[in-house]
């Protein structure tokens, strides 16, 4: 049973849980079954699948009001809502909601039992407590901000654990590659340093990712790790790094001095706009200027094109090139 169903009000829970059992039941050998979701366009009048309903129809107080026209209106709303940016919880509910409408529209005349299920699900969807699709553009904007903030909170709270798991996988792969096949050694090389996980994530998202993805599967096969889980770890860890300004560390480790100059210059200009108070802005300015002084000779403060890598930065470039040459010869 889907865990989110526990949040459905008790007076509507049984009808909806019955619908879930029908959808996600088991066959005679206790194997889960999933009935195919049919195209609902045939249940709508000609061109009806193109006529979206922007706001969710209010639940009807009388089952007799759920005539064919009302059911088609509800189905058009669900078809449109499913295409929008909504939470995973809403997506799952809309699948059930759509099934209920389809079942009610399947016959010549909607059966009372089917209409009762539709009514119950309408009431749940329309209730503010269930926090589904907002009823206005302002509410939708607030919801998206809330979801984004919660997403940031998840990355902040648990991101370090993702990185820790990836480092353990990398260490285990390095150990497993000793004295084994060239295929495993190749995977360890492709997934090992000096590459960062952010670089690996970018490569996996690119057009020519087939070879790297193959190395991930080889590594997972040797270590007994679910490859889908590892691909998720890499993607989520990269998102965490992008979100929480680990750009700076990456730019420095990869000697990407123009990008580092652009980022620091931009942040210096915007400090007073994003800092909560002048003291915080001043403290951040000290941090940014210390990074600037460590790696650049600055001719024009407000133009990153005139921030030139200093002696330390140039030495780091030479060391990086030497490491890459050494790795290439292995």
Strand locations in 104-200 (E): none
Classify 216 as helix, strand or coil: helix
Q: Check whether the bond before 101 is cis (ω within 30° of 0).
A: no
Label residue 212 exposed, middle or buried (CB < 10 Å: 0-12, 13-18, 19+): middle
CB within 8 Å of 122: residues ≥ 6 apart: 56, 57, 58, 59, 60, 74
Between 83 and 322, whose confidence is greater?
322
pLDDT value at residue 25: 53
Q: Are strands 307-309 and 296-298 parallel, antiparallel or unpaired?
A: antiparallel
In terms of Cα–Cα distance, which of 5, 19, 15, 20 is closest to 120? 15
- Which residues are bridge partners to 297 per DSSP? 308
DSSP character for 62?
A: S
Measured CA to CA, the distance from residue 307 to residue 214 in angstroms comes to 41
- The pLDDT assigned to 110 comes to 65
Q: Do residues 223 and 174 lie in contact, with contact meaning Cβ atoms separated by under 8 Å?
A: no
Contact 110, 140 (CB under 8 A): no
What is the band of 6 on the pLDDT scale with cuts at 50, 70, 90? very low
Residue 55 to residue 78: CA distance in whole angstroms: 10
What are 117-174's pLDDT values in tens digits?
888 888 887 765 454 455 667 766 776 777 677 767 677 777 778 888 999 999 999 9
Task: Collect all residues with Cβ–Cβ distance below 8 Å to 148 and sequence separation of at least 6.
Answer: none
Say how far apart CA 222 and CA 171 lie, in whole Å: 13
Q: What is the pLDDT of residues 187-210, one digit of tens each?
A: 999 999 888 888 899 899 888 888
Contact 278, 272 (CB under 8 A): yes
Give the pLDDT band (50/70/90) at residue 43.
low
Residue 86 makes CB contacts below 8 A (sequence gap 6+) with 94, 132, 133
Report the number of secondary-structure helices (H) and strands (E) in the chain. 13, 2
Instruction: Give dist(CA 166, CA 219) in Å, integer.
Output: 12
Residue 58 — very low, low, confident or very high, per pLDDT cuts 50/70/90? confident
Check residue 307 and give its pLDDT: 96
pLDDT bucket at 89, cuts 50 / 70 / 90: low
pTM beyond cutoff 0.75: no
Quick one: tokens of 321? 């090139």
């Amino acid at each position: 049973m889907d865990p989110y169903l526990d949040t459905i009000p008790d007076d509507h829970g049984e009808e909806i849980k019955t619908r879930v059992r029908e959808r996600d039941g088991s066959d005679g050998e206790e194997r889960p079954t999933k009935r195919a979701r049919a195209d609902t366009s045939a249940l709508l009048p000609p061109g009806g699948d193109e006529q979206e309903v922007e706001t969710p129809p209010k639940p009807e107080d009388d089952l007799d009001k759920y005539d064919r026209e009302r059911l088609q209106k509800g189905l058009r709303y669900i078809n449109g809502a499913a295409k929008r940016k909504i939470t995973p919880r809403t997506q799952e509910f809309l699948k059930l909601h759509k099934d209920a409408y389809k079942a009610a529209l399947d016959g010549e005349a909607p059966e009372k039992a089917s209409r009762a299920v539709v009514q119950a699900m309408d009431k749940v969807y329309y209730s503010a407590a269930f926090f589904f699709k907002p009823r206005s553009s302002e509410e939708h904007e607030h919801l998206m901000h809330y979801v984004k903030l919660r997403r940031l909170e998840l990355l902040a709270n648990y991101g370090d654990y993702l990185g820790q798991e990836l480092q353990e996988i990398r260490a285990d792969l390095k150990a497993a590659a000793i004295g084994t096949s060239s295929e495993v050694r190749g995977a360890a090389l492709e997934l090992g340093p000096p590459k960062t996980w952010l670089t690996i994530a970018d490569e996996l998202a690119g057009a020519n990712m087939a070879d790297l993805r193959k190395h991930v599967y080889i590594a997972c096969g040797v270590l007994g790790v679910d490859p889908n889980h590892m691909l998720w770890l890499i993607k989520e860890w990269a998102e965490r790094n992008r979100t929480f300004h680990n750009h700076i560390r990456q730019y420095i480790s990869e000697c990407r001095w123009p990008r580092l100059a652009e980022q620091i210059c931009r942040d210096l200009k915007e400090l007073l706009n994003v800092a909560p108070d002048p003291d915080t802005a001043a403290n951040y300015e000290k941090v940014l200027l210390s990074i600037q002084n460590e790696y650049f000779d600055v001719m024009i403060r407000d133009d990153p094109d005139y921030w030139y890598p200093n002696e330390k930065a140039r030495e780091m470039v030479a060391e990086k090139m030497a490491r890459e040459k050494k790795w290439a010869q292995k």
